[in-house]
Structure 1
Amino acid sequence: MAKELATENLKFDEEKAKMSPNKKGGWITFPFIAGSILGVGLASGGATSNLLVYLVQKYNVRSIDAAQIVNIISGTMSLAPVIGAIVADAFFGCYSVLVFCSAIQLLSLVIFTLTAVIQSLRPTPCAVPGTDTCQTASKGQLTMLYGGVALLCIATAGTRFNQATMGASQFDRVEDQAIFFNWFFIFMYTAAIASSTAIVYIQDSVSWVTGFALGMGASAVSLVFLLLGSKYYHKPAPQGSPFTGLARVVVATLRKLKVQMEPQTTASYFHGNDDMASSIPGPSFSIFNRAALIAEGDTSPDGSIVKPWKLCSVREVEDFKAIIRLLPLWSSSIFVSISIGCQLNLSVLQALTMDRSIGPHFSIPAGSMIVPSFVSFVVFLTLLDRVLFPIWHWLTHHTPSPLQRIGIGQFINAISMMSSALVERRRAAVINRHEAEVHPGWIVPLSAVWLMLPLALAGGAEALHFPGQVGLYYQEFPKALKNTSTGMVAVIIALGFYLSTAFLGVIRDVTTWLPDDLNRSRLEKVYWVIAILSTINFGYYLVCAKFYKYQNTNNSTEKVSVGEMPAI
């Protein structure tokens, strides 16, 4: 249905373009933006999906160290798009940032390819990865590799969110924007699955040079597609970032901490031109009411603001308070991301020690073990949207609220961590039966397919709690701040990856559970700790959800569409 409507709209836009040559935007831009999305996704995934294995096998990095490094990189790539969106909104506009960062991505893939082509850019290969005899990479070699990683992070900052914003800005109708968002996430996940399977397989089974070169080619194609559509795009000018308004409330409050807050009237506060012109700030979080209090010299004779970083409107103050009310719920999702970050990278390390063969001629690349999570996310989300939520509505006469979706997702996530612990117990039992054969690099005679069930459960959990969070933030955020809702989830994901690195570091410092040789580890205990903490975190979430009151009650059971999904 979406495809048919897109085709009809494309024909309609082409006819309009013929009648009105100066008309910009519309479905005529869709093929160019779609090519850019697919190319960027393939290039980014081709460089990062198998990066953990690349560090272990080609740079002789110890396995747990490599997992922590990849977590830091993943966290940075999740947080960077928030900064990129702010820069685009406030200064340069989406199109300029997209072109610049697409070119940066191409340069980063050139560097990755060079590290695979030129032997001197890597340490001497190690016969048995993870042993003390392995040569470590030099500072120059690591600088080259991490330089490519840094450029890739900059590229991701300017492309991931801005592609969605750029595409949506081509349409005036909300229906067209919703269809575009659906296709945006379809293309994004398609690229992620393709890069985590086909490109990773080529890197493992053909050569790293070919794998990185394919990513480089995809990046070049992405840039070409983006530039070819330039004359058709509607390119909105930068409007300023809504985050600036939030920062102004904090700064204005700090600058007026010594102001006496005696009983005030409506005239004591600055309102501007909004629908709160006859009200005063609410009593909750009253310390921030100072930001809207008019002091001498704050306004000009015509009523406009003279010092914007010392005075905010009542609306801006109340918008800031709405964000504060959501912070406890937001914080309850951070450990979910920590558990996901640990599970994904540890599963790749487990796969490196297990039998990954399927039949006599094919072996699953270890970097592809994350694919079940992606596939489960897409399948489960489709089932929710088309089957499970309609059944729920038929039985209860309402759609699950965002808080209910998040809660169910967190519960399933805890179950996923428990199942990872059980799979590791089975792997450890096989190792114990072959104790005499165990040595560094020994492959456990147990199929890595066992790892797919916990990852599939994790993907299903993500399909509930991440879109549920976006739905909650979109519903509850003030009107002027709706576009920041996805950014809130991106920050959670970034913090999760960063803190998962710290979490594994603490485990290594206070226990002996994570030696570099995973076959001598006590990984089962690590997973049980994560499962227990996930369960405790779920209890914390239930408390936060119980005391939270919807501000926009008319929309509390509104159905969330695929277009409201975050970018993970």
Structure 2
Amino acid sequence: MAFNSTSHSPSTQHEDSVPPSTSRKAGGWRAIAYILGNESFEKLASMSLIANLTVYLRTKYNLGGIFLVNVVTIWTGSSNVLSIAGAVVSDAYLGRFLTLLFGSISSLVGMGTIALTAAIPELRPPACHEPSVCEQPRGWQIVVLLLGLLLLATGAGGIRPCNIAFGADQFDTRTEKGRARLESFFNWWYFSFTIALMIALTGVVYVQTNISWAIGFAIPTVCLACSIIIFLIGRRTYIIRKPQGSIFIDMAKVISASIKKRKVNLRQSSDHTFYSPATDEELEPTKLMLTDRFNCLNKAAVILDSSELDCQGQPTDSWRLCSVQQVEQLKCLVGIVPVWCSAIGCFVVMDQQNTFGNLQGIQMNQFLGPHFKVPPAWMGNTSMLALSFWIFIYQSLYLPTSRKIMKRDARITLKEKIRTGIVMSILCMVMAGIVEKKRRESALKHGSHVSPLSIGFLLPQFVLSGLTEAFAAVAIMEFFTVQMPESMRSIAGAVFFLSLSIGSYLSSLIVNIIHVATGKNGRQPWLGDHDLNKNRLDYYYFIIASLGVINFVYFTFFAGNYVSSKKAITTGGDLQLDNHSISQSRKFSA
């Protein structure tokens, strides 16, 4: 039994939005064109730094060893973890449009700062060619560098949780046509920014490595300016949803109310009245129906006494009585946790190629022919090519062909995609370990710092890393988004990037643990030396592969049960998760 109220919380904050009549005409692929254009330029800029940051810090700041790895991984992780703050600001105060705009401006200033460190020699330590005698940067030089990285991380925190969510806002997912377009959007979103990444990893990285770091960082700075201009040009085509207050605070209220009403026995009686006020369709297009998954949380919405409501039908204590909508929103977040944990395992593998993959390339034969030298960061192109090739084949060839032959949509399920991605991550680390073992042996055999082994031997591990992203990352991003109502899509984006950040932090933690554990009693640690030939990076890769096997078992026998092969059941404006998802969650019920 549900108690309905037409009142709305006065604490909800709003921004000026597109009028209802305009909103119906806005959105769709016309708006997506501007969003993808903005995303492509932004990714071109950010990835041209991410792909080559390790090389830049190694060659221009004379950093190396554990400190270098920590700077890169912690910055990468911070860029992603700030997505949570960006999601809160977006959902509670600014809305996705303004959060994206301010995030882009912060990134522009940050990239400009990094460009200055490359253009002004005084902002860096003196150039050096011998790692053992290189002068380290001074404290204030590190501060300037970290300031630029902090601004970039702050900008990423605003852009990453909102870009995908803002694109998803342009479709009506209450219809089958809208849901199909949303899935296509995910694929084309990944495809478009992957093309931008390949441009960044070829043209921009080549300029940085072989022509000028200053020019190489000025290019992404201009690209960020272009992304802001494109985003603003498309302003009138967007559907802009109003912020509705912090969902995280609502979740805290649900937990508080559930604890306060923990003695309520829902199984004894079915006559309980649940607080379910009417929602504003413009603010909350999808009204969530009460489900029996995570049943202990339902206690937060039970009306035990009429005194819990005021004369306007509003809770007198919002920390003791919550709406069904608030309860179900928390359930949506709790329901993705098992898959979220598995996602972190995949992202640990993907993180290796941005650091150790590039370091391997630095100590390999980079020449193709007598004159052409391949920048190590170019190897990331193979990951992007593999990802783009798979998405193009799947979207443009596989799906149309399957419709013609089978007379139905034979899409690969999310569960199958994620499982395949985990397998690819294991193979990636095994291959990386084999190549590193061969690289190290050949360098020691020839007594040289740089191995005569061609950098082309890194191709398989980078291709497998790209396929890990093509299968697992795309599917995980889609899973997080479709499991959330429209009002929580920024949260879905933040959770996705939070898993990336934890993957980076976990990678840094594993590196430091291995460094300490293997360096005891005066022994040479597996990791940490500036010279990879003195390390045992191959052993490290095999350890990560072993963790991937554990992740595969975990997903196959546990987390995969939370990824339903069915679509969400949508009726009018109400949404209820399918019975499979509910049954898997009942084990947590009170």
- TM-score with structure 2 length normalisation? 0.80
Question: Match for residue 289 of structure 1?
Answer: 298
- Which residue, 431, 448, 455 being the options, matches 2:455? 448
Q: CA shift at 1:481, angstroms?
A: 4.3
- Which residue, 243, 252, 258 being the options, matches 1:253? 258
Change (3 A) 1:23 1:140: same
Which aligned pairs between 1:214-229 and structure 2 lie closer than 5 A?
214-229=219-234
Question: Match for residue 200 of structure 2?
Answer: 195
What is the rounded CA distance, in whole Å, between the counterparts of 1:371 and 1:39 in structure 2? 17
Q: CA shift at 1:163, angstroms?
A: 3.8
- Which residue, 363, 375, 378 being the options, matches 1:365? 375
Question: Match for residue 120 of structure 1?
Answer: 122
Question: Match for residue 67 of structure 1?
Answer: 69
Question: Match for residue 55 of structure 2?
Answer: 53
What is the rounded CA distance, in whole Å, between the counterparts of 1:262 and 1:171 in structure 2? 39
Which aligned pairs between 1:342-353 and structure 2 lie closer than 5 A?
342-353=352-363
What is the rounded CA distance, in whole Å, between the counterparts of 2:460 and 2:254 in structure 1? 47
Q: CA shift at 1:38, angstroms?
A: 3.1
What is the rounded CA distance, in whole Å, between the counterparts of 2:270 and 2:421 in structure 1? 46
Q: CA shift at 1:111, angstroms?
A: 0.9
Q: Which amino acid aligns with 2:385?
A: V
What is the rounded CA distance, in whole Å, between the counterparts of 1:310 and 1:508 in structure 2? 49
Question: Match for residue 350 of structure 2?
Answer: 340
Q: CA shift at 1:68, angstroms?
A: 2.4
Mean CA deviation greater in 229-238 or 537-546: 229-238
Q: CA shift at 1:529, angstroms?
A: 1.1
- Which residue, 78, 95, 98 being the options, matches 2:97? 95
- TM-score with structure 1 length normalisation? 0.82
- Which residue, 392, 413, 438 being the options, matches 2:425? 413
1:237 lines up with 2:238 in the alignment: no
Q: Do the aligned partners of 1:381 and 1:464 also contact (CA within 8 Å) in 2? A: no
Deviations 1:411-459 (A, max 9, x none): 121111111111112112212321xx23xxx211011111111110121
Change (3 A) 1:164 1:281: closer
Question: Match for residue 283 of structure 2?
Answer: none
- Which residue, 381, 397, 404 being the options, matches 2:416? 404
Mean CA deviation greater in 82-91 or 375-384: 82-91
Q: Which amino acid aligns with 1:150?
A: L
What is the rounded CA distance, in whole Å, between the counterparts of 2:253 and 2:459 in structure 1? 47
Which aligned pairs between 1:75-474 and structure 2 lie closer than 5 A?
75-129=77-131, 131=132, 133-167=133-167, 169=169, 174=178, 183-230=188-235, 235-257=240-262, 263-273=268-278, 282=292, 285-295=294-304, 297-387=307-397, 399-434=411-446, 437-438=447-448, 442-474=449-481
The SS at the match of 1:308 is coil
Q: Which amino acid aligns with 1:338?
A: V
Deviations 1:280-327 (A, max 9, x none): 863x54442332233554321343223323322235334433543432
Change (3 A) 1:466 1:182: closer
Q: Which amino acid aligns with 1:218?
A: C
1:503 lines up with 2:485 in the alignment: no
Deviations 1:136-195 (A, max 9, x none): 211110110000000011111222343444455567783776776555433322222211
Change (3 A) 1:395 1:534: farther
Q: Do the aligned partners of 1:353 and 1:443 also contact (CA within 8 Å) in 2? A: yes
Mean CA deviation greater in 485-494 or 49-58: 485-494
What is the rounded CA distance, in whole Å, between the counterparts of 1:358 and 1:411 in structure 2? 32
Q: Which amino acid aligns with 2:219?
A: L
What is the rounded CA distance, in whole Å, between the counterparts of 1:140 and 1:492 in structure 2? 32
- Which residue, 558, 568, 572 being the options, matches 1:544? 558
Q: Which amino acid aligns with 1:147?
A: L
The SS at the match of 1:446 is coil
Q: CA shift at 1:341, angstroms?
A: 1.1
1:489 lines up with 2:496 in the alignment: yes
Mean CA deviation greater in 530-539 or 89-98: 89-98
Change (3 A) 1:446 1:163: same
Q: Which amino acid aligns with 1:41?
A: K
Query: For this pair of structures, how many residues does the alignment match?
Result: 529
Change (3 A) 1:229 1:537: closer
Q: Do the aligned partners of 1:475 and 1:552 also contact (CA within 8 Å) in 2? A: no
Change (3 A) 1:249 1:146: same
Q: Do the aligned partners of 2:343 and 2:473 also contact (CA within 8 Å) in 1? A: no
Q: Do the aligned partners of 1:392 and 1:400 also contact (CA within 8 Å) in 2? A: no
The SS at the match of 2:272 is helix
What is the rounded CA distance, in whole Å, between the counterparts of 1:552 and 1:333 in structure 2? 20
Deviations 1:32-73 (A, max 9, x none): 545433332222123322111111111111144212221111
Change (3 A) 1:165 1:402: closer
Q: CA shift at 1:108, angstroms?
A: 1.1
Give the structure, 1 or 2, with the largest relative contact order (CA under 8 Å, sep 6 or more): 2
Question: Match for residue 560 of structure 1?
Answer: none
Question: Match for residue 530 of structure 1?
Answer: 544
What is the rounded CA distance, in whole Å, between the counterparts of 2:402 and 2:36 in structure 1? 34
Unaligned runs of 5+ in 1: 1-19, 558-568
Q: CA shift at 1:228, angstroms?
A: 4.2
What is the rounded CA distance, in whole Å, between the counterparts of 1:432 and 1:314 in structure 2? 66
Question: Match for residue 533 of structure 2?
Answer: 519
What is the rounded CA distance, in whole Å, between the counterparts of 2:166 and 2:25 in structure 1? 16
Change (3 A) 1:392 1:228: closer
Unaligned runs of 5+ in 2: 1-21, 280-285, 519-524, 570-576, 579-590
Q: Do the aligned partners of 1:476 and 1:550 also contact (CA within 8 Å) in 2? A: no
Q: Which amino acid aligns with 2:534?
A: R
Q: Which amino acid aligns with 1:501?
A: S
Q: Do the aligned partners of 1:410 and 1:465 also contact (CA within 8 Å) in 2? A: yes
Q: CA shift at 1:401, angstroms?
A: 2.3
Q: Which amino acid aligns with 1:345?
A: T
Mean CA deviation greater in 231-240 or 377-386: 231-240
Q: Do the aligned partners of 1:405 and 1:465 also contact (CA within 8 Å) in 2? A: yes
Q: CA shift at 1:503, angstroms?
A: 0.9
What is the rounded CA distance, in whole Å, between the counterparts of 1:39 and 1:348 in structure 2? 24
The SS at the match of 1:212 is helix
Q: Which amino acid aligns with 1:513?
A: W
Q: Which amino acid aligns with 2:207?
A: I
Deviations 1:206-260 (A, max 9, x none): 1111111112222222233334444665544323454444333223334545778
Q: Do the aligned partners of 1:281 and 1:317 also contact (CA within 8 Å) in 2? A: no
Q: Which amino acid aligns with 2:501?
A: A
The SS at the match of 2:453 is strand
